[in-house]
Amino acid sequence: MTSHYDVIVVGAGSMGMAAGYYLAKEGTKTLLIDAFDPPHENGSHSGDTRLIRHACGEGFEYVPLAIRAQELWDELQEKTSESIFRKTGVVTFGPEGSDFVNQAIAGGQKYSLPIDTFDHGADINRRWPGITAPDGHFGCYEPEAGVLFSGNCIRAFRRLATQSGADLITNTPVEDLEVLENTVTVQTKEGSYTADKLIVSAGAWNRKLLSKLNLELPLQPSRQTIGWFDAEASLYQADGFPGFFVDLPTGIYYGFPSIDGTGLKIGRYDAGEELDPEYMNREFGIYPKDEGDIREFLETFMPQAAGRLNVGKTCMFTNTPDENFIIDLHPEHAHVAIAAGFSGHGYKFSSVVGEILSQLATTGTTNHDISLFSATRPSLQNQGTTTL
């Protein structure tokens, strides 16, 4: 292993590992450094699975990225025997007037995606008898959407990156970063490494690391929980039941069909506890709401899936004030690229974010529209400090 590289990637989770592969396969001399050993349970990619929706309720700007991300996931699948994506379809619904559902439908129509719409809760219930959507609910269904196997995705990118020549250092926290006019230095307990370019994609640890580069961003990690529940197999197996995203006035929920008999998986998207990632309590069940919130949802909307809790886990979101990502070059250092603040809906984009980061690091620009994700946008300014 040498000490000088074209690009160093700090944080080799979902986005960082993808970036490492796309850099290395183009012949870029790349070093990936991670505080843990990805995939792992300490970041934001744990929990085995993630949804990928193409008709994004978060805004029109996300739809082209989701489409490109799916293309890259499909390409990754061709390069590995591990399961990367399973087309289960995804249903999104909520009460009449839901901005999120309306935006998802509008995005699907704008980009001519295959999408079915439902004007009434009864229509949803007839399509999937495992769902009990009340009167006054509406929604949409994307048959081409589905489930990503997050651990498998990272393992595949890791194998391909190292096979393509990237070096990888694991279980090694970065202690300091120094940026000079044309080079960067990354300090770890194992030694120092230098490079022409730097990518910082360290998840919940981004704010701490970026502060070393004179960049203070309002990034707030939160503790989130997910659970797998015994569910009626005839109603909730992945060969007939979709992933789901439900936008309610009382909370936002998302989930997955039972895959290989593991039970229906569900999590709550909002209402996480703010935290410092260094001191996160990872024990599921320390708060009554860990199981209580998601079980209450199931009892109301999917009662035949509200069986015994099989497994409960915790993970982290890292949120921005406007819940849009940060993907940009450092405003003072054009040879430093940043990926941060994915606010609970970023994993599905990690393939294309990796592609974007590799482009930013090597050329200083990207062929994707990332104007929404500027590190200097007004909604990130004057937000005060966080718990970090």
For the segment 13-26, what is each residue's pLDDT rounded down to a tens digit? Answer: 999 999 999 999 99
Confidence at residue 383, expressed as pLDDT on a 0 to 100 scale: 59
User: Which pair of tokens denotes residue 136?
Assistant: 């006054």
- Residue 228 three-state SS: strand
Range of the domain at 361: 4-45+151-217+322-380
| Mean local confidence (pLDDT), 127-136 | 97
Same domain as 375, residue 231? no
d(CA 125, CA 117): 13
- Domain harbouring 212, CATH code: 3.50.50.60
Q: What percentage of residues in the chain have a pLDDT greater than 70?
A: 98
Q: In total, how many domains does the chain have?
A: 2
Same domain as 27, residue 172? yes
Q: What's the mean per-residue pLDDT of the chain?
A: 96
Q: What percentage of residues in the chain have a pLDDT greater than 90?
A: 95
Same domain as 334, residue 306? no
For the segment 221-278, what is each residue's pLDDT rounded down to a tens digit? Answer: 999 999 999 999 999 999 999 999 999 999 999 999 999 999 999 999 998 999 999 9
pLDDT exceeds 80 at position 384: no
Same domain as 116, residue 140? yes
- Letter for the amino acid at 5? Y
| Mean local confidence (pLDDT), 284-311 | 97
Same domain as 298, residue 170? no
| Mean local confidence (pLDDT), 283-298 | 96
Confidence at residue 381, expressed as pLDDT on a 0 to 100 scale: 87
List, in order, residues 6 or more apart from 274 with CB less than 8 Å away. 220, 221, 222, 223, 386, 387
Band of residue 388 on the pLDDT scale cut at 50, 70, 90: very low
- Domain harbouring 306, CATH code: 3.30.9.10
Same domain as 346, residue 241? no
In a domain, 80, yes or no: no
User: Which pair of tokens denotes residue 224?
Assistant: 């989130």
- Residue 61 three-state SS: coil
d(CA 165, CA 27): 8
pLDDT exceeds 50 at position 385: no
In a domain, 343, yes or no: yes
d(CA 343, CA 323): 5
d(CA 81, CA 368): 29
In a domain, 313, yes or no: yes
For the segment 62-112, what is each residue's pLDDT rounded down to a tens digit? Answer: 999 999 999 999 999 999 999 999 999 999 999 999 999 999 999 999 999
Confidence at residue 386, expressed as pLDDT on a 0 to 100 scale: 42
Exposure string of 142-157, with b = 16+ CB inside 10 Å and e = fewer, is beebbbbbbbbbbbbb
Confidence at residue 387, expressed as pLDDT on a 0 to 100 scale: 40
Residue 299's φ and ψ, nearest 5 degrees, are -60, -30
